[in-house]
């Protein structure tokens, strides 16, 4: 298939020209919908992982005044995932993977997520101290306790198990 604007050759199932980005009009409507739905799963997963990571490891310095802290945290919780969403959409349009390639990519994402959780479990399991509360302090008064936080280690390992299970158990999609 050739682009009507720049004349470069593209894949038969391409929706956009690889060279100039012009929309190619010969793709059937149901094929276009299928391509859009293929890329949706991995994109949603990646953006959700970004949001969760930002929620967990975002700026936690409460020394700022509350409205400023809320505005900054809300701003990056919205801006970064939206930017990631559009960046991934652009990458998917340029890459144009087939369904089998996308399935392998999703499995690799799940496996990588499992690996990250295992590394986090190892790092927390090797910690000398952790922040906690023994129960006799006022609420919000954390103290430094000796040893690793085994609850967090177990949670990381549980999440790693789920992510690994998804990477192994995910079935190939029907064409």
Cβ–Cβ under 8 Å, residues 73 and 60? no
pLDDT digits over 108-121, tens only? 888 998 999 999 99
pLDDT of residue 159: 92
pLDDT value for 57:
63
Two tokens at 103?
């399935």
Q: Which residues pair with 16 in a beta bridge?
A: 23
Considering the entire predicted model, what is its pTM?
0.57
Element housing 130 (H / E)? strand 129-132
pLDDT for 170 equals 66
CA 47 to chain centre: 4
Which segments of the chain have a pLDDT < 50? 27-30, 32
pLDDT in tens, 70-84: 677 777 777 777 888
Give the residue carrying structure tokens 């953006």: 47
């Amino acid at each position: 298939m050739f682009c009507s604007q720049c004349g470069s050759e593209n894949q038969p199932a391409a929706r956009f020209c690889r060279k100039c980005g012009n929309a190619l009009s010969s793709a059937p409507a149901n094929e276009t919908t299928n391509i859009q739905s293929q890329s949706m799963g991995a994109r949603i997963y990646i953006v959700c992982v970004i949001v969760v990571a930002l929620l967990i490891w975002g700026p936690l310095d409460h020394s700022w005044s509350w409205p400023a802290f809320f505005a900054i945290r809300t701003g990056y919780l919205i801006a970064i995932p939206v930017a990631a969403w559009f960046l991934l959409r652009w990458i998917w349009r340029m890459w144009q993977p087939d369904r089998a390639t996308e399935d392998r990519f999703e499995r690799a994402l799940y496996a990588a997520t499992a690996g990250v959780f295992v590394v986090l479990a190892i790092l927390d399991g090797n910690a000398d101290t952790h922040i906690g509360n023994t129960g006799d302090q006022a609420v919000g008064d954390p103290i430094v306790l000796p040893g690793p936080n085994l609850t967090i280690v177990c949670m990381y390992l549980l999440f790693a198990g789920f992510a690994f299970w998804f990477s192994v158990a995910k079935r190939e999609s029907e064409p």
